[in-house]
Amino acid sequence: MAEITNKTLLLPAGGMDLEATLFCGQSFSWEKAPNGAFAGAAGDRAALARQEGDTIRLDIPHPRAGDETFWRHYFALDTDYAALLDTFGKDPTLAKCTTTGRGIRVLNQPFFDTLLTFILSQNNHIPRITGIAGRLRAGFGPGLAPGIHGFPAPEVLAVLDVEDLAALRSGFRAKYLLDAARRVADEDITEEKLRFLADPDARKMLMGIRGVGPKVADCVLLYSLERYAVVPMDVWMKRAMARLFPGGMPPCAKGSEGIAQQFIFNWARDNLPRGG
């Protein structure tokens, strides 16, 4: 890991648990670095993040205008989670879930990063997804400092072939990454178009990409476009939801279903058997 001596941002954490947030399964763009720090990338920006009490310290290797705004939005620091947790507390089961994962925040990740990493997530393990994403950045992303790379732009990947991605060891997913890159680079699918569309149409547009099914589409909408009306679920999560909330998502989660979903998912993963 390169020594980073550039710009430092100190942001109020607002109760966020940085490690729990970065490694709860919503992002595959962060890795543990020495000294209790976490090295990560978002788009063509990178940071070395540390939790210091209720402050998040971000060392920025390539500082530029708008960094603070960008990272505040990324970590959802302007969302009042204390008020949200009070609201969720109106349902005893949901309150139990938020107690377990109290410091988790739903990140606002860049669209293209989220699309690529969740394409990689299918039939895969979190450590391996993180590894492939790291090799993708290292091989094709902009170098921001020695050993630190951002995510590649769609145009960079769009001109490559499957053979060019062999070093990623992403398996059958390589062709899906390239199709996604080409569709975005050609502006066939853009973040702006998705924001304009209603949820079902945005979902349908994303599922036009090879390798993107309903699960990946919903994760992209939730984690990069703040579309909390859609709820990503795999088969196991559907069973967990049915068991915990037989009547569906509790009314107190209305308007913040995606955030509630993240708490439920992490509680269920720690407390319910995977078999059902």
CB of 271 to DNA, least distance (A): 15
Residue 127 lies near DNA (rule: CB under 7 A): yes
What is the helix (H) or strand (E) element at residue 99, kind and residue range?
helix 92-100
* Closer residue to DNA, CB minimum distance, 41 or 132: 132
* Closer residue to DNA, CB minimum distance, 26 or 87: 26
- Site mask, DNA, residues 212-251, x = CB under 7 A? xxxxxx-x------------xxxx-x--------------
d(CA 91, CA 208): 37
- Site mask, DNA, residues 185-214, x = CB under 7 A? ----------------------x--xxxxx
d(CA 240, CA 155): 40
* Closer residue to DNA, CB minimum distance, 152 or 211: 211
- Site mask, DNA, residues 97-126, x = CB under 7 A? ------------------------xxxxxx
Catalytic pick from 175, 215, 238, 254?
215
118 close to 12: Cβ distance less than 8 angstroms: no
3-state helix, strand, coil in the chain (%, to 5): 50, 10, 40
- Listed in order, strand segments (DSSP E) in 64-214 are 143-145, 148-149
d(CA 142, CA 250): 44
d(CA 121, CA 234): 12
- Going by C-alpha positions, the residue among 22, 48, 40, 32 that lies closest to residue 105 is 22
* Closer residue to DNA, CB minimum distance, 71 or 176: 176
Cβ-Cβ contacts under 8 Å for 212 (sequence gap 6 or more): 115, 119, 176, 180, 206, 220
**254 a catalytic residue:** no
CB of 14 to DNA, least distance (A): 21
* Closer residue to DNA, CB minimum distance, 62 or 173: 173
CB of 68 to DNA, least distance (A): 27
d(CA 142, CA 165): 16
d(CA 112, CA 21): 20
Give the footprint of DNA on residues 129-188 (CB under 7 A): 131, 169-172
CB of 172 to DNA, least distance (A): 3
CB of 69 to DNA, least distance (A): 26
Give the footprint of DNA on residues 16-55 (CB under 7 A): 24-26
Catalytic residues: 215
Under the rule (CB under 7 A), what is the footprint of DNA? Answer: 24-26, 121-128, 131, 169-172, 207, 210-217, 219, 232-235, 237, 261-262, 265-266, 274
